[in-house]
Amino acid sequence: MTAYRLPQVLTHDLAAEVMAQSRSALMSQQSQTWVLDASLLDQFDSSALAVLLGLRRFALESKAELQVQGAPQRLTQLAGLYGVAGLLHLTSH
């Protein structure tokens, strides 16, 4: 199974573009489990969480499971701070 790589930068200015690209890439995975690779994420803000939550919702609507692998520790901490860590099931690298 090939994971879709999130970009190095995911901030408010790029969130809509990243969301659209990610949705398209995930739909092409042709699997019940959609995998995102977050290991490249270096510069991000809370918009990254909004994108991940939106992709999670999209996966659920599509009867798929979303897995986020290689999440930077800062992203995992931010998800905990916002109270969404349990929804995203982030796997750190």
Per the model's pLDDT, the better-predicted residue between 29 and 85 turns out to be 85
**Structure confidence by residue, pLDDT tens digits, 4-19:** 999 999 999 999 999 9
User: What CATH number does the domain containing 21 carry?
Assistant: 3.30.750.24
Total count of domains within the chain: 1
CA dist 64 and 27 (Å) reads 10
Mean pLDDT of the chain: 93
Rg of the chain on CA atoms, in Å: 12
Please report, rounded to a whole number, the percentage of residues in the chain having pLDDT higher than 70.
98
More confident residue, 2 or 63: 63
Helix, strand, coil fractions of the chain, as percent rounded to 5: 50, 25, 30
Q: Is the pLDDT of residue 35 over 70?
A: yes
Domain that holds residue 74: 4-92
Q: What is the pLDDT of residue 31?
A: 86
Angular region, 70: left φ>0, alpha ψ -120 to 50, beta rest: left
- CB-CB contact of 1 with 30 (8 Å): no
